[in-house]
Amino acid sequence: MNIILLGPPGAGKGTQAARLIERHGMRQLSTGDMLRAAVAAQTPVGLEAKAVMERGELVSDAIVSALIGDELTAMGPDVGAIFDGYPRTAAQAEALDAILAQHGRALDHVIELEVDEDALVERITGRFTCATCGKGYHDTFERPLAEGTCDRCGSHSFKRRPDDNEDTVRTRMAEYRAKTAPILPGYDARGIVSRIDGMAPIDAVTDAIERVLAGA
C-alpha cells in the first residue's frame, strides 16, 4: 500500500501517519522530518535548506525528490509507504510517479485532510514534540497524559519547531494554496482522492482514514 497524506501545515498529517505506522507497520516518509534531520546534522542539503525552511518557503524539488528516492530504495519492497508532506508541487508529483514506477509501486490513495485555515494557526503555534522519541503533542488538543512526561517514552524533554510561529505559518499556507493544492486535480482524474474532515477530533479522523484504507 502506498498512500499520500495531503493537507496544509497543521492539518494533522504527521499525527495520523504516526497512528497508521503503529497499526499497520507502514513506514512514514516525511520530507519535513528528513530535512530537519539534515539541518541538525549540517549536511550540504541541510545547510541549503535551513534558511528556506525558516522563511516557510519550499525547498527545491530536486532535493526533496532525491531524499524520497533514497528512502524508498532503503526500504523493503513489501513495506507500505505513507508520504507525509510530499509531493508539494506539480514537479514533485511527477517525480513521485517516476520513483514509484522504478520501485514497482503504485499509488493506492491520496487522502486530503480538509481543514479550516483559521484553526491551523492555533494548531501550529500549540504544537510540540518529545525531544527524545518525536511523539507529537498539542498544548490544548493532545496533552501528555501525565503533565511534563512523554506518554510513549517517559522523557521530560520537549521541543518546538522554529518555523511554528504565526508569521511563517501564513507563508506556509500561501505556499500550500499556490503550489500544492493545484496537484489535486491530477490525482482526482485518476480517481484516487478521498477527502476527510480534518477538523474532527483526532480519533475520528483516524477512523475515517481506516475506512478509506479498508475500501469501505
Residues annotated as catalytic (active site), given as ranges:
13, 88, 127, 160, 172
Q: How many residues bind ligand ADP (CB under 6 A)?
A: 35
Is residue 2 within a helix (H) or strand (E), and if so which, with residue range? strand 2-6
Helices (H) and strands (E) in the chain, counts: 9, 8
Distance CA 104, CA 84 (A): 20
Distance CA 93, CA 90 (A): 5
Nearer of residues 153 and 178 to Zn ion, judged by Cβ: 153
Nearest to 138 by CA among 154, 153, 155, 120: 120
Write the burial class of residue 153 (CB in 10 Å: 0-12 exposed, 13-18 middle, 19+ buried). exposed
Kindly tell me which residue out of 41, 47, 79, 133 binds Zn ion, with binding defined by CB under 5 A.
Answer: 133
Nearest to 169 by CA among 100, 117, 208: 117
Kindly tell me which residue out of 2, 3, 6, 10 binds ligand ADP, with binding defined by CB under 6 A.
Answer: 10
Nearer of residues 109 and 172 to ligand ADP, judged by Cβ: 172
**Contact partner at residue 158 from ligand ADP, Zn ion, none, CB < 5 to 8 Å by partner kind:** none
15-23, 67-75, 132-140, 208-216 -> range binding Zn ion (CB under 5 A): 132-140
48-56, 116-124, 145-153, 193-201 -> range binding Zn ion (CB under 5 A): 145-153
Contact at 8 Å (CB) between 128 and 158? yes
74-82, 84-92, 94-102, 150-158 -> range binding ligand ADP (CB under 6 A): 84-92
Does 99 interact with ligand ADP (rule: CB under 6 A)?
no
Binding residues vs ligand ADP (CB under 6 A): 7, 9-15, 31-32, 35, 52-53, 56-59, 64, 85-86, 88, 92, 123, 126-127, 136-138, 141-142, 172, 200-202, 205
